[in-house]
Amino acid sequence: MFKVLLSRLGQAALVMLVVSAVSFVMFRYVGDPVATMSRENASVEEKEELRRSLGLDQPLVVQYGRFLTRTLSGDLGISYRNQRPVTALIAERLPATLELVIVATILSLALGIPLGVLCALKPDGVAARLVQALSLVGISTPTFVTGIVLILVFAVSLGWLPSFGRGQVVDLGWWSTGFLTISGLKSFILPGITLALYQLTLIMRLVRAEMIDVLSSDYIRFAKARGLPTRYINFRLALRNALMPVITVTGLQIGSLIAFAIVTETVFQWPGMGLLFIQAVSFVDIPVMAAYLLFVGLLFVLINTVVDILYAVVDPRLRARSA
Amino acid sequence: MNAQSIPALAIDSLRVEYPLANGSVFTAVENASLVIQPGEIHALVGESGAGKTTIGNTVMGLLEKPGRIAAGSIHIDGKKFDAVKSSATGIVLGRDVGAIFQDPMTSLNPLFTVESQLTEAMRFHLKLDKGSARSRALELLESVGIPEPKRRLKAYPHQLSGGQRQRVVIAAALSCNPKLVVADEPTTALDVSVQAQILKLLRDLADSRGIGILLVTHNMGVVAQIADHVTIMHRGKVVETGSTEEVLRRPKAAYARALIGAVPRIDQRLDRFPVLGDEGKGRAETARAELRAKAGRSEADADETPILSIENLCVDYTTSGWLPGSTGHRFRAVDDVSFSLRSGEVFGLVGESGCGKTTIANVVSGLVRPSAGRVLYRGQSIAGEGATRRVGPLRQAIQMIFQDPYSSLNSRMRIGSILSEPILFYRLATSRAEAERDVTRLIEAVGLDADASQRFPHAFSGGQRQRLSIARALGARPKLIVCDEPTSSLDVSVQAQILNLLKDLRDATGLTLLLISHDLAVVRQMCDRVAVMRHGRLLEQADSETLFDKPQHPYTQELLSLVPTLDRIRGETQAA
């Protein structure tokens, strides 16, 4: 187990090195930062001065080395747009996105798994057919359409729920949470559903397919032949086997939810990472974009490692192999 | 058996139907009756599609929808089985009826411990608490002969061998003291020596606990060894039933006679296997003669140098280490094996699973690289030291027939394309038209109709597919064919046909065959010389007759004594 962990960490470090190189190249070569940062009528001397102060006159390797040391010490540069450290910007926005993603993931697991099991157990039932049909709608409707329709119905027409923002947030030192106020909780509902919908249908369909497979396996037939109660067979013996691939998919999906919550955050004006990124793109705010790239890379590497370890916890066969 | 005792199972004129999509009805079992007394083993025998598994599943309450019991009755321990609910009042499946499945590798849930899977039925049916269920599980594991039962309780299925897993399955079946156990092909997936142990265990359990056992199997040898009564089924109907000795020694029905005759004998060698019906000689003979003319026996065939020699072959399998480039564990699958094949002979390689026989087949066909030693084809190294790259004629000379005919033909290609592929690839025909004529000739030579070339593999049965695999191998006009368990997934009567076909083709085209098998009877019938392997080593090689009549190595002797055969019928050995 320790060996496997060590090799996984080595691989992770390698991936991060590549990502940082890409991020650096982007930082250095997409557009001229000096032109973006200086006043329109700045003289050549002023520009050169700025270039020197940013260290852009140094050789490439030195620049990359400096970039790496700075990154490792947590300094991701200063945003061109609002002249604040990128690290601070991300730290400020991260809680909003993470909380939204946690809500969406819990929602999709809590609904997706039972619905998937239902569809697998009674494939010809009315409920299963309805769920199947709806899931097709869910998987094929673009996120922004779902979001806008939800806003139209629940915020504009009915006026039950807020249409944008996080509501009131409570500051817990370095973390600001929306879980502790009524308006904060209410604000989660619409964007949470919007973000969860795609993942929900994905998990439901996956669980359904896996369950159907597992239910026809020999060990489930053997369990039936031993006369065990149906509920016990379905929910303890079969479901555990069916959830193996769900772990992988959920893990990867959490990654993409955090990285690509952009559309949902834009629709609901949610002050998270996605919105930060969109604003950075429209202003060619290279440090923010580069930091975002690094952050997303780190996130995926971390999640993949966690998923691998989880797999070994759930499946005894993998435990033996890696021991 | 005293006549007053309540039978463990009584089936009376049972009829099981499957309604088909087009409104008609497929009758899987018709008018089947049988009675099993406590302590009796009753074998249900037949080829695939005979309906024997359907009866087993019905009794276990596992009849798959839309199958239904259309007529007749089933009594388990004197209690009537409800056809609609698929259960009997007072009878709890799992408590009163135990089940043993064919493949111990798949019948245990991989994510739960042995303890959890053994105790769950006791906790639900007997309402035992965790502690007493656990101590009973321990007793059960001891009674089925698992070493170190305490440690095994905590084990997961993948940590046990196939034989141990089947013992766990048997222990689970016995956990609630059933009256009846349904065993569906309980030893088919196991090696001969493990099979012998499991069969003995089943017999002991029937004798000591008075359990009635319904043994569903296709293996006549198994039946002869442990069953008291036999029922032979064919296409859903019972063709013969009676005591094991009566049925196996003096079968009355024509089908029963043919089925028993098709079982390969281990005690003496026959020229051909007796098969059902005629083999459609005429056209096949002509086609084979043409094949032979085309192959054109070259001078090399007559010469005395071995066609294939394997010299000090070693194969290691290594797991990769956690750093790129480093190696982890090393496993020696083949250890210093040498033998050679003379032109035109059938050479058998036998051994239990994991003995390295398939690895040798893979080395010969170039699928695996040897770690040491070499393989020579007509004096030229083709694998290992000094090996030249296999090109053209060398590749063409060695062909392979695989075990599973279902996965060895590409299901998206028509038979015609499958068979013409080697012909066109090796440029054995000057035009497409000639290739097509060759394909027709090949199809006829393996005893199928020429219009087969227009169809896809799924239109053929397992035996027909294996014929087509043989035709494909022949298409390249090989000198040597490596057959890896060519008949182990086929029914006895189909196996007899395929083996006859291989013999005929060998005689007709002067092929050399390397036959890999775990079935000693098949090897005796087919091979001129035989080599026995164990744990990657070659223990003994000799002429087939010598090896079977006077085996030298103790392992060979043990193997031969363990094969369940028709000549050792239970009733008779006890009387003797």
In chain A, domain spans: 89-282
Measured in degrees and rounded to the nearest 5, phi and psi for residue B328 equal -95, -125
A82 Cβ contact list (under 8 Å, min separation 6): A89
Looking at B50-54, B436-440, B522-526, which range is the least confident one?
B50-54
Highest mean pLDDT (candidates B238-242, B269-273, B486-490, B504-508):
B238-242
pLDDT at B27 over 80: yes
3-class secondary structure for B54-85? Answer: HHHHHHCCCCCCCCEEEEEEEEECCEEEECCC
pLDDT at A180 over 80: no
Q: Do residues B322 and B521 lie in contact, with contact meaning Cβ atoms separated by under 8 Å?
A: no
pLDDT at res. B575: 41
pLDDT at res. B89: 64
Could you report the per-residue pLDDT of A149-172, keeping only the tens digit for each?
888 888 888 878 877 777 777 777
Taking CB atoms and an 8 Å cutoff, what residues of chain B touch A6? 322
Mean pLDDT of B140-158: 85
Q: Do residues A102 and A196 lie in contact, with contact meaning Cβ atoms separated by under 8 Å?
A: no
Strand, helix or coil for residue B459: helix
Distance between start and end Cα atoms, chain B: 21
Taking CB atoms and an 8 Å cutoff, what residues of chain B touch A212? none
Query: What is the rounded CA–CA span in Å between residue B89 and residue B79?
Result: 7
Question: By percentage, how much of chain B surpasses pLDDT 70?
Answer: 90
Mean pLDDT of B262-276: 75
Query: Given pLDDT bands bounded at 50, 70 and 90, which one contains residue B300?
Result: very low
Query: What is the rounded CA–CA span in Å between residue B506 and residue B498?
Result: 12
Query: What is the rounded CA–CA span in Å between residue A104 and residue A195?
Result: 6
pLDDT at B468 over 60: yes
pLDDT at res. B3: 47
- Angle, in degrees to the nearest 10, between helices A182-215 and A244-259: 150
Query: What is the rounded CA–CA span in Å between residue A309 and residue B90?
Result: 47
Name the residue among A7, A225, A237 with its Cβ closest to that of B62. Answer: A225
Taking CB atoms and an 8 Å cutoff, what residues of chain B touch A7? 322-323
Same fold yes or no, B9-261 and B281-320+327-571: yes
Mean pLDDT of B114-131: 87
Chain A nearest C-alpha distance from B105 (Å): 9
B412 vs A320, higher pLDDT: B412
Q: Do A227 and B94 touch (CB under 8 A)?
A: yes
pLDDT at res. B74: 86
pTM value?
Answer: 0.74
Chain B nearest C-alpha distance from A17 (Å): 18
Query: Given pLDDT bands bounded at 50, 70 and 90, which one contains residue B299?
Result: very low
Measured in degrees and rounded to the nearest 5, phi and psi for residue B329 equal -70, 150
Q: Do residues B226 and B234 lie in contact, with contact meaning Cβ atoms separated by under 8 Å?
A: no
Strand, helix or coil for residue B10: strand
Sign of CA dihedral A200, A201, A202, A208: positive
pLDDT at B386 over 90: no
pLDDT at res. B348: 92
Query: What is the rounded CA–CA span in Å between residue A144 and residue A267?
Result: 7
pLDDT at A188 over 90: no
Taking CB atoms and an 8 Å cutoff, what residues of chain B touch A317? 110, 156, 158
Query: Given pLDDT bands bounded at 50, 70 and 90, which one contains residue A322?
Result: very low
pLDDT at res. A323: 38
Name the residue among B101, B120, B323 with its Cβ closest to that of A228. Answer: B120
Mean pLDDT of B74-81: 82
Looking at A82-91, A165-174, B335-344, B527-536, which range is the least confident one?
A165-174
Query: Given pLDDT bands bounded at 50, 70 and 90, which one contains residue B353?
Result: confident
The correct answer on CATH 3.40.50.300 for the domain covering B9-261 is yes
pLDDT at res. A37: 66
How many residues in chain A? 323
The superfamily in CATH containing domain A89-282 is: MetI-like (1.10.3720.10)
Angle value at C-alpha A213, between A208 and A219, nearest 5 degrees: 130
The superfamily in CATH containing domain B281-320+327-571 is: P-loop containing nucleotide triphosphate hydrolases (3.40.50.300)
Listed residue (B465, B481, B476, B486) closest to B410, CA to CA = B465
**Ranges of H-type helices in A122-261:** 126-140, 143-150, 182-215, 218-225, 230-232, 239-242, 244-259
Q: How far is CA A307 from CA A2, A94, A246, A311, B216, in A?
A: 16, 22, 10, 6, 44
Chain B within 8 Å of A231 (Cβ-Cβ)?
A: no
Mean pLDDT in chain B? 83
Listed residue (A293, A272, A229) closest to A23, CA to CA = A293
pLDDT at B574 over 50: no
A256 vs B108, higher pLDDT: B108
pLDDT at res. A33: 66
Listed residue (B471, B483, B367) closest to B418, CA to CA = B471
| Minimum Cα–Cα distance from A219: chain B residue | B107
Query: What is the rounded CA–CA span in Å between residue B277 and residue B30?
Result: 24
Name the residue among A4, A6, A225 with its Cβ closest to that of B93. Answer: A225
Strand, helix or coil for residue A73: coil
Contacts of B110-113 spanning 24+ positions with Cβ under 8 A: B110/A219, B110/A241, B110/A315, B110/A316, B110/A317, B110/B156, B110/B157, B110/B158, B111/A240, B111/A241, B111/A314, B111/A315, B111/A316, B111/B156, B112/A237, B112/A240, B112/B156, B113/B153, B113/B154, B113/B155, B113/B156
Name the residue among B99, B159, B182 with its Cβ closest to that of A320. Answer: B159
Looking at A47-61, A86-100, A277-291, which range is the least confident one?
A47-61
Listed residue (B370, B351, B247, B254) closest to B310, CA to CA = B370
Q: Is B113 left (phi over 0), alpha (psi -120 to 50) or beta?
A: beta
B325: amino acid identity, one letter: G
Query: What is the rounded CA–CA span in Å between residue A102 and residue A254?
Result: 8
pLDDT at res. B2: 46
Q: Do residues A34 and A54 lie in contact, with contact meaning Cβ atoms separated by under 8 Å?
A: yes
pLDDT at res. B383: 81
Q: Do A226 and B106 touch (CB under 8 A)?
A: no
A198 Cβ contact list (under 8 Å, min separation 6): A138, A139, A143
Q: Which residues pair with B514 in a beta bridge?
A: B347, B482
Listed residue (B347, B358, B292) closest to B481, CA to CA = B347
Taking CB atoms and an 8 Å cutoff, what residues of chain A touch B103? 218
pLDDT at res. B562: 84
Q: Which residue do the tokens 């013999």 mark?
A: B503
pLDDT at res. B322: 53
Burial B95-110 (b: 16+ CB within 10 A, else e): bbbbbbbbbbbbbbbb
pLDDT at res. B481: 92
pLDDT at res. B66: 77
pLDDT at B161 over 90: no
Listed residue (A106, A112, A105, A110) closest to A207, CA to CA = A112
The two structure tokens encoding residue B188: 């088919």
| Minimum Cα–Cα distance from B178: chain A residue | A226
Could you report the per-residue pLDDT of A13-61, keeping only the tens digit for each?
888 888 888 888 876 676 666 766 666 777 788 778 877 777 777 777 8
pLDDT at B112 over 80: yes
Is the bond into B66 cis (omega within 30 degrees of 0)? yes
Listed residue (B52, B38, B77) closest to B223, CA to CA = B52
CB atoms within 10 A of CB B25: 11
Looking at B86-95, B272-281, B340-349, which range is the least confident one?
B272-281
Looking at A263-267, B278-282, B286-290, B501-505, which range is the least confident one?
B278-282
Q: What is the dihedral of CA B26, B30, B35, B41, to 10 degrees?
A: -60
Question: By percentage, how much of chain B surpasses pLDDT 90?
Answer: 11
Query: What is the rounded CA–CA span in Å between residue A284 and residue A245?
Result: 39
**Ranges of H-type helices in B392-486:** 392-397, 415-425, 432-445, 462-475
Could you report the per-residue pLDDT of A227-259, keeping only the tens digit for each?
888 888 888 888 888 888 888 888 888 888 887
Query: What is the rounded CA–CA span in Å between residue A310 and residue B517?
Result: 41
Query: What is the rounded CA–CA span in Å between residue A160 and residue A214?
Result: 43
Q: Do B101 and A217 touch (CB under 8 A)?
A: no
Strand, helix or coil for residue B539: strand
ipTM: 0.71
pLDDT at A321 over 70: no
Q: Do residues B304 and B365 lie in contact, with contact meaning Cβ atoms separated by under 8 Å?
A: no
Name the residue among B99, B111, B323 with its Cβ closest to that of A315. Answer: B111
Query: What is the rounded CA–CA span in Å between residue B506 and residue B513?
Result: 8
Could you report the per-residue pLDDT of B428-440, keeping only the tens digit for each?
888 888 888 889 9
Query: What is the rounded CA–CA span in Å between residue B55 and residue A288?
Result: 70
Q: Do residues B45 and B73 lie in contact, with contact meaning Cβ atoms separated by under 8 Å?
A: no
Q: Do residues A214 and A242 lie in contact, with contact meaning Cβ atoms separated by under 8 Å?
A: yes
Chain B within 8 Å of A228 (Cβ-Cβ)?
A: yes
User: For chain B, which residues make up each domain, given as ranges?
Assistant: 9-261, 281-320+327-571
